[in-house]
Amino acid sequence: MLEISENALMMSVQAVQYAIQHLSAERDAVSGSEQADYDEIIESYEIVAAELRGVYQTAHAQGLDLPAYQDLVG
């Protein structure tokens, strides 16, 4: 398995969550086919977010010193 520091994992989770929120706000400001373009990008970020959440929860369950996932993205 790949190794990643706790800090890098936490920052990755937060960065992807920020990107989703930012892109969602931009999506809401446009209309028509532009929204569909944003939907595709947001979906890609959501897939990555789900993968990161799984890795994060596994690391947390293994006893790494990490805050609860919800507290991180809250």
Res 32: pLDDT: 87
| For range 51-68, the mean pLDDT | 92
pLDDT in tens, 11-51: 999 999 999 999 999 999 998 889 999 999 999 999 999 99
How confident is residue 65, by pLDDT bands cut at 50, 70 and 90?
confident
Other Cβ atoms within 10 Å of 52 Cβ, number: 21
Q: Would you place residue 1 in the very low, low, confident or very high pLDDT band (cuts 50, 70, 90)?
A: low
Picking from 53, 47, 54, the residue whose alpha carbon sits closest to that of residue 73 is 53
d(CA 70, CA 19): 17
The contacts of residue 35 (CB under 8 Å, 6+ apart) are 27
What does the domain layout of the chain look like in residue ranges?
Answer: 7-65
- Only one residue has tokens 């897939």, namely 47
Instruction: Name the pTM for this structure.
Output: 0.88
